[in-house]
């Protein structure tokens, strides 16, 4: 993975309290799993940033290398990798996701 | 890819007491019980499984939903 992609990703994650690397965007998710996390975040009514990995193949691969996680979407809160759709759904259902997201949103 | 192939990859790639895999060819659900999950977060547990699956995750498996348990957690579930 090229150095500057890693820097770009690190900056995006550092500059945004809540950021979702997804396929598509909030208004038009392009994959069911990305749409699921968008719905969960929308239910909390907090501001969050998204990155459409479909627009940049280098980011699409770079984020997988960055987190050592092979799939998209990937949610980052407070600079930390939280998980993909599977883990976020589990945390959404067991009530762990809401306090994490809301405290990061401030 | 077939669920049995994924089960085989997981069983060969990590030490697991119980592996069950269902799926339709590109979306899969797996239940995995392993002492390797001891003291690991959900993310770390999934990364152990992804490591076992290796390149299959890149090419053949579009989505794998996993339930990961330690033997004690699995014991607690079944009684």
Choose the closest CB to B47 out of A68, A82, A86.
A68
Domain limits at A22? 3-105
pTM of the model: 0.90
Q: Which of B:37-66 have CB within 8 Å of A?
A: 42-43, 46-47, 50, 57-58, 63-66
Contacts of B74 (CB under 8 A, 6+ apart): B17, B18, B33
Say if A83 is an interface residue toward chain B (CB within 8 Å).
yes
Query: Structure tokens of A88?
Result: 């976020």
Choose the closest CB to B65 out of A68, A69, A86.
A86
Q: Taking CB atoms and an 8 Å limit, are A69 and B42 in contact across chains? A: no
pLDDT at B26: 79
Q: Taking CB atoms and an 8 Å limit, are A33 and B58 in contact across chains? A: no
Say if B73 is an interface residue toward chain A (CB within 8 Å).
no
Residue of B9, B49, B65 to mutate when probing chain A, most A C-beta within 10 A:
B65
Q: Taking CB atoms and an 8 Å limit, are B50 and A69 in contact across chains? A: yes
pLDDT at B79: 66
Q: Identify the segments of chain B with pLDDT beneath 50.
A: none
CA B72 vs CA A84, B21, B47, B79: distances in Å: 25, 20, 20, 11
- How near does any CA of chain A get to the CA of B17, in Å? 22
Buried b (16+ CB within 10 A) or exposed e, A43-59: eeebebebbbbbeeeeb
Domain count, chain A: 1
Instruction: Name the least confident of A6-15, A24-33, B58-67.
Output: B58-67
CA A25/CA A34 separation, integer angstroms: 9
Taking only the tens place, the pLDDT of each residue in A39-77 is: 999 999 999 999 999 999 999 999 999 999 999 999 999
For tokens 């960055």, name the residue.
A66
SS3 state at B65: strand
Over 80: is that where the pLDDT of A1 sits? no
The mean predicted confidence, pLDDT, of chain B is 92
Choose the closest CB to A90 out of B42, B47, B64.
B42
pLDDT at B77: 84
Q: Taking CB atoms and an 8 Å limit, are A83 and B43 in contact across chains? A: yes
- CATH code of residue A18: 3.40.30.10
Domains (ranges, CATH) in chain B? 3-72 (3.30.300.90)
Query: Structure tokens of B75?
Result: 């014991």
Quote the ipTM score. Answer: 0.82
């Amino acid at each position: 993975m090229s150095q500057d992609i890693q820097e770009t990703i690190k900056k995006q994650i550092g500059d945004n309290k809540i950021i979702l690397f997804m396929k598509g965007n909030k208004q038009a998710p392009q994959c069911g799993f990305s749409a699921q996390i968008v719905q969960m975040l929308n239910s909390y009514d907090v501001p969050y940033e998204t990155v459409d990995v479909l627009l940049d193949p280098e980011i699409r691969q770079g984020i997988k290398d960055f987190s050592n996680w092979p799939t998209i979407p990937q949610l980052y809160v407070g600079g930390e990798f939280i998980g993909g759709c599977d883990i976020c759904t589990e945390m959404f259902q067991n009530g762990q996701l809401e306090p994490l997201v809301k405290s990061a949103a401030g | 890819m077939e669920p049995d192939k994924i089960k085989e990859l997981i069983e060969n790639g990590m030490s697991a007491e119980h592996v069950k895999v269902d799926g339709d060819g590109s979306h899969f659900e797996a239940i995995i019980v392993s002492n390797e999950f001891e003291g690991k977060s959900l993310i770390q547990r999934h990364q152990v499984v992804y490591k076992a699956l290796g390149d299959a995750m890149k090419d053949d498996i579009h989505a794998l939903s996993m339930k990961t348990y330690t033997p004690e957690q699995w014991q607690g579930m079944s009684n």
